[in-house]
Amino acid sequence: MALLTWQAIKEGDALPELKKRPGVTQLVKYAAGSGDFNPLHHDYQFPQSKQLGSIIVHGRFKYAALGELVSNWLGYAGRIKKISCQYRGMDFPDREFVCRGIVTRKWEENGEHLVALEVWTESDEGKKTTPGEAVIAIRS
Amino acid sequence: MAKEFEITDEMRAAIGNESPAWTYEVTTTSVRAFARGVGYTDPVYFDVEAARRAGYRSLPAPPTYLGTPVFIPGRSSDTFTFPTQGQPTVKHGLKGLLDGGTETEYFSDVCAGDTLRVVNRLENLEVRESKALGKMLITTQRTIFTNQDGKVVAVQTGQAIYY
């Protein structure tokens, strides 16, 4: 992987998109990895799942996927200082959502090379279900 | 769905309350389990040698992962793995629960081998109304993660929506 440099980053740059299509098995792996065993994310017989007509993808899975989007772009060229998102809409298993991001700002502060990103997940209906932001410090 | 809901003085008194500290572990196995759960393919989250070559002291915690709470039956939530006493409680009587949002601010790196001391603080209570869910109670919690060297490595702020 070519190392990302501060010099090369421009405001308006788009991060390479990350497609996700978690099925039940993937959500079970996430439950085990995160410790969140809420049946709403794996059990179709759970009352809240029945009410919704389906199980739903963990909000935190989408948050972590936005982290993966940033990690894949950043590589080992710096570190995440802040990453946030809001859970605005539900995503369902076996349906694709896409993680996207753009560089909104690039600046220097206290000797650090900083980049702000707008990140979000987009459902297969084109809805921004998980909008968020991140701030990255680039090493060189 | 609640038509009417008000924050009582008793609820408001809980603002600022902190939970007892609990231990969260970041291990090579827990980092792999989380990275696998998200679907990462980057070897730095799986292969210790690859992580060292990339400049990390061991497998780095993937973004948003801040360790796994130590699970002890009877003291931990069977559903969420968090310590049962790990959240400052607000008696509100609302049954529905949604995750509102999460922000993580990092002050240092977190890698496999780290043991974090975790404290939750109730920061704020707020009532909002939505067409779909009626009156909702929004709680804001701050979770402070301190590593084995006494350094605050991350602070996570989250909103829970009760309706």
Total domains, chain A:
1
Helix (H) or strand (E) holding A32: helix A24-34
Where are the domains positioned within chain B?
9-26+72-162, 27-65
User: Tens digit of pLDDT for each residue in B131-162?
Assistant: 888 999 999 999 999 999 999 999 999 999 99
Q: Is A71 close to B40, i.e. CB distance below 8 A?
A: yes
Q: Is residue A2 part of a domain?
A: no
Rounded average pLDDT over B64-92: 90
pLDDT exceeds 70 at position B34: yes
Looking at residues B18-42, what average pLDDT do you find? 97
User: Across the interface, do A64 and B64 touch by the CB < 8 Å criterion?
Assistant: yes
Sign, CA dihedral B75-B78-B81-B85, equals negative
Residue A121 within any structural domain of the chain: yes
Domain interval for residue A63: 18-22+57-138
Question: How many CB atoms are located within 10 Å of the residue A68 CB?
Answer: 22
In a domain, A33, yes or no: no
> For the domain that residue A81 is a member of, what is the CATH number?
3.10.129.10
Contact between A123 and A106 (Cβ < 8 Å): no
**Of residues B91 and B51, which shows the higher confidence score?**
B51
CA distance A128 to A124: 10
Most confident of B75-84, B90-99, B102-111: B102-111
Q: Tell me, what's the ipTM?
A: 0.96
A4 falls within a domain = no
Nearest residue of chain A to residue B96 (CA atoms): A48
Q: Rounded to two decimals, what is the model's pTM? A: 0.95
pLDDT for the residue numbered B85: 82
Would you identify the CATH topology of the domain B9-26+72-162? Thiol Ester Dehydrase; Chain A (3.10.129)
Is the model's pLDDT at B93 over the cut of 90?
A: no
Closest Cβ opposite residue B37 in set A34, A80, A84: A34
Confidence class of residue B98 from pLDDT cuts 50, 70 and 90? Answer: confident
Torsion sign, CA atoms B24, B27, B30, B31: positive
Q: Using the beta-carbon criterion (under 8 Å), do A82 and B104 form an inter-chain contact? A: yes
Please list every residue in chain B whose beta carbon sits closer than 8 Å to the beta carbon of residue A87.
Answer: 98-101
**Chain A residues whose beta carbon lies within 8 Å of the beta carbon of residue B99:** 59-60, 87
Which B residues, 84 through 103, put their C-beta within 8 Å of a C-beta on chain A? Answer: 98-103
Residues of chain A with pLDDT under 50: none
Residues 119-158 of B with CB under 8 A from A: none
pLDDT at B1: 66
